[in-house]
Amino acid sequence: MNLRSFATSQPRPAPASWGRVLAGFEDGDDDAWWLVVSVKPSCHGCEDFLREAVSADPLRLLIVSGVPTGEWSRGAAVHVEPELLSDLGASGAPYYVVVSPGRQIVGEGAVFSREQVLNEVTPLIV
Protein backbone atom coordinates (compact mmCIF):
# COMPACT_ATOMS: atom_id res chain seq x y z
CA MET A 1 0.00 0.00 0.00
CA ASN A 2 1.36 3.42 -0.94
CA LEU A 3 -0.06 5.83 1.66
CA ARG A 4 0.47 9.57 1.29
CA SER A 5 -0.48 12.43 3.53
CA PHE A 6 -3.12 14.78 2.22
CA ALA A 7 -1.98 18.04 3.80
CA THR A 8 -0.61 20.67 1.46
CA SER A 9 1.63 23.46 2.58
CA GLN A 10 2.54 26.88 1.29
CA PRO A 11 6.06 27.86 2.31
CA ARG A 12 5.93 30.18 5.30
CA PRO A 13 8.36 31.43 7.93
CA ALA A 14 9.00 29.17 10.89
CA PRO A 15 7.63 30.69 14.10
CA ALA A 16 9.84 32.48 16.62
CA SER A 17 9.52 29.48 18.93
CA TRP A 18 11.51 27.43 16.36
CA GLY A 19 14.56 29.63 16.95
CA ARG A 20 14.21 29.19 20.71
CA VAL A 21 13.96 25.41 20.38
CA LEU A 22 16.88 25.28 17.97
CA ALA A 23 19.02 27.39 20.30
CA GLY A 24 18.38 24.87 23.07
CA PHE A 25 20.28 22.15 21.25
CA GLU A 26 24.00 21.92 21.79
CA ASP A 27 24.37 20.78 18.20
CA GLY A 28 21.48 22.88 16.87
CA ASP A 29 22.33 23.61 13.27
CA ASP A 30 20.67 26.58 11.61
CA ASP A 31 22.07 25.41 8.25
CA ALA A 32 20.38 22.01 8.42
CA TRP A 33 17.10 20.72 7.08
CA TRP A 34 14.88 19.58 9.98
CA LEU A 35 12.07 17.07 10.17
CA VAL A 36 9.86 17.91 13.15
CA VAL A 37 7.42 15.14 14.07
CA SER A 38 4.62 15.61 16.61
CA VAL A 39 3.56 12.66 18.71
CA LYS A 40 1.08 12.21 21.52
CA PRO A 41 0.44 9.66 24.28
CA SER A 42 -1.77 6.64 23.58
CA CYS A 43 -1.18 6.90 19.83
CA HIS A 44 -0.30 3.60 18.17
CA GLY A 45 0.90 5.32 14.98
CA CYS A 46 3.17 7.54 17.08
CA GLU A 47 4.66 4.53 18.85
CA ASP A 48 5.22 2.80 15.50
CA PHE A 49 7.06 5.86 14.18
CA LEU A 50 9.15 6.17 17.35
CA ARG A 51 10.30 2.56 17.03
CA GLU A 52 11.50 3.06 13.45
CA ALA A 53 12.71 6.68 13.68
CA VAL A 54 16.37 6.09 14.36
CA SER A 55 17.26 8.71 11.74
CA ALA A 56 15.74 10.87 9.06
CA ASP A 57 18.88 11.23 6.98
CA PRO A 58 19.48 13.62 5.22
CA LEU A 59 17.33 15.69 7.62
CA ARG A 60 17.89 16.32 11.31
CA LEU A 61 15.09 14.74 13.34
CA LEU A 62 13.23 16.40 16.21
CA ILE A 63 10.34 14.53 17.81
CA VAL A 64 8.07 16.68 19.96
CA SER A 65 5.01 16.24 22.13
CA GLY A 66 2.72 18.76 23.74
CA VAL A 67 2.59 16.90 27.03
CA PRO A 68 5.18 15.29 29.28
CA THR A 69 4.71 11.59 29.80
CA GLY A 70 6.71 8.59 30.84
CA GLU A 71 4.75 6.56 28.32
CA TRP A 72 7.23 6.69 25.44
CA SER A 73 8.90 3.37 24.87
CA ARG A 74 12.15 2.67 23.08
CA GLY A 75 13.13 4.75 20.09
CA ALA A 76 14.11 8.34 19.56
CA ALA A 77 14.01 10.97 22.33
CA VAL A 78 10.79 12.97 22.65
CA HIS A 79 11.05 16.67 23.53
CA VAL A 80 8.15 18.45 25.22
CA GLU A 81 7.45 21.63 23.24
CA PRO A 82 3.73 22.56 23.39
CA GLU A 83 4.37 26.15 22.26
CA LEU A 84 6.25 24.99 19.17
CA LEU A 85 3.49 22.54 18.22
CA SER A 86 0.87 25.23 18.58
CA ASP A 87 2.91 27.75 16.60
CA LEU A 88 3.58 25.23 13.82
CA GLY A 89 -0.10 24.44 13.57
CA ALA A 90 0.57 20.72 13.90
CA SER A 91 -2.91 19.44 13.21
CA GLY A 92 -2.68 16.15 15.05
CA ALA A 93 -0.31 13.34 15.70
CA PRO A 94 1.62 11.83 14.24
CA TYR A 95 2.25 14.85 12.02
CA TYR A 96 5.40 16.19 10.40
CA VAL A 97 6.76 19.60 9.42
CA VAL A 98 9.89 20.23 7.35
CA VAL A 99 11.94 23.33 8.23
CA SER A 100 14.55 24.55 5.74
CA PRO A 101 17.94 26.09 6.60
CA GLY A 102 16.37 29.50 5.93
CA ARG A 103 13.81 28.81 8.69
CA GLN A 104 10.98 28.29 6.22
CA ILE A 105 8.31 25.63 6.64
CA VAL A 106 8.36 23.97 3.24
CA GLY A 107 6.29 20.83 3.80
CA GLU A 108 4.00 19.11 6.24
CA GLY A 109 1.61 16.22 6.49
CA ALA A 110 0.36 13.17 8.30
CA VAL A 111 2.79 10.43 9.27
CA PHE A 112 2.01 6.86 8.23
CA SER A 113 5.57 5.52 8.29
CA ARG A 114 9.19 6.66 8.25
CA GLU A 115 9.52 5.54 4.62
CA GLN A 116 6.39 7.46 3.56
CA VAL A 117 7.59 10.66 5.22
CA LEU A 118 11.06 10.43 3.66
CA ASN A 119 9.53 9.76 0.23
CA GLU A 120 7.38 12.87 0.58
CA VAL A 121 10.03 15.22 1.97
CA THR A 122 13.13 14.23 0.01
CA PRO A 123 11.98 16.16 -3.12
CA LEU A 124 11.60 19.29 -0.96
CA ILE A 125 15.29 19.40 -0.09
CA VAL A 126 16.97 21.69 -2.57
Return the CATH number at 70.
3.40.30.10
* Number of domains making up the chain: 1
**Tens digit of pLDDT at every position of the chain (126 positions):** 455 565 556 789 999 999 888 888 766 666 889 999 998 888 878 887 787 766 677 788 888 988 887 666 666 688 889 999 999 888 678 899 999 998 999 989 888 888 888 888 888 886
Q: What whole-number distance in Å separates Cα of residue 42 and Cα of residue 21? A: 25
Q: Quick check: is 94 in a domain?
A: yes
53 CB-near residues (< 8 Å, 6+ apart): 37, 61, 63, 75, 76, 114
Q: What whole-number distance in Å separates Cα of residue 49 and Cα of residue 114? A: 6
pTM for the predicted model, two decimal places: 0.85
Q: What whole-number distance in Å separates Cα of residue 28 and Cα of residue 67? A: 22
Residue 6 phi, psi dihedral angles, 5° rounding: -105, -5
Query: Containing domain of residue 112, as a range?
Result: 12-124
Q: Quick check: is 42 in a domain?
A: yes
